[in-house]
Amino acid sequence: MTGEPLPAFRDDLDLTLAECWRLLQEGATSRHSAFHVPTVATLDEQGLPELRTIVLRAAEPERRLLRFHTDRRSAKIAQVARVPSGAIHIYDKPSGIQLRLAASLSIETDGDEVEAAWTASRSLSRICYRVTAAPGAEVEHPDEVAFDHDAADEGRSQFCVLLARIHRIEWLHLAHEGHRRAAFSFNELGEAPEWKGRWLVP
């Protein structure tokens, strides 16, 4: 809002990058954050983009990872297996901040990280994995959607983790005092891999 102190990250690339990850971490823990529900894009069989909103479950700056939960029968699983690249978009209107992320995607069905994610999930969330047909399957009427309420594993066999390892971040901050736009690319070459930032024309 005009008249309030301008955030320090407006003119500092390092602080801007830190703010990107702070917002993603906040989104992973706060349902009230716009960063809690990013739009994730993959490519379908024809090479066309498919978009969907997925709840962000974790953000780890050190590993450059975002974690999502999904049903292993969903179409995005086959899409990621075929083309393990994706894009993620988030826009928070009150702050005027937009993030566009490029990532390498992978699916994890087993292992300690997956088991920990399943154990931490709420019972209400687990119900989604008890649906008897694959997500997106055609039905004559919504009432035909059936759930296996007696599933011994509570739906665990259909649960998996979608990991997005971020290699590019584009930041846009819309403000009355002047817009700011920056891009960050992760450079894996050299002895000390690091993020490289640069300002862009808004």
- For 32-63, the DSSP string reads TSGGGS-EEEEE-TTS-EEEEE--EEEEETTT
Query: Is 167 inside a domain boundary?
Result: yes
**Which residues make beta-bridge pairs with 101?**
88, 169
Domain that holds residue 107: 8-134+146-174
Query: Is 194 inside a domain boundary?
Result: no
Give the number of domains in the chain.
1
Query: Is 26 inside a domain boundary?
Result: yes
Query: Is 70 inside a domain boundary?
Result: yes
Query: Is 71 inside a domain boundary?
Result: yes
Query: Is 115 inside a domain boundary?
Result: yes
* Whole-angstrom distance, CA of residue 19 vs CA of residue 24: 9
Query: Is 22 inside a domain boundary?
Result: yes
Lookup: tokens for 181: 């736009």
* Whole-angstrom distance, CA of residue 194 vs CA of residue 186: 6
Q: What pLDDT is attached to residue 149?
A: 79
Query: Is 187 inside a domain boundary?
Result: no
**Which residues make beta-bridge pairs with 49?**
43
Q: What pLDDT is attached to residue 151?
A: 78
Q: What pLDDT is attached to residue 1?
A: 44
Q: What pLDDT is attached to residue 140?
A: 85
User: Digits of tens for pLDDT over the chain (202 positions)?
Assistant: 456 788 899 999 999 999 999 999 999 999 999 999 999 999 999 999 999 999 999 999 999 999 999 999 999 999 999 999 999 999 999 999 999 999 999 999 999 999 999 999 988 888 889 988 888 888 888 888 888 877 778 889 999 999 999 999 999 999 999 999 999 999 988 778 899 999 999 9
Question: Which CATH number belongs to the domain containing residue 76 in this structure?
Answer: 2.30.110.10
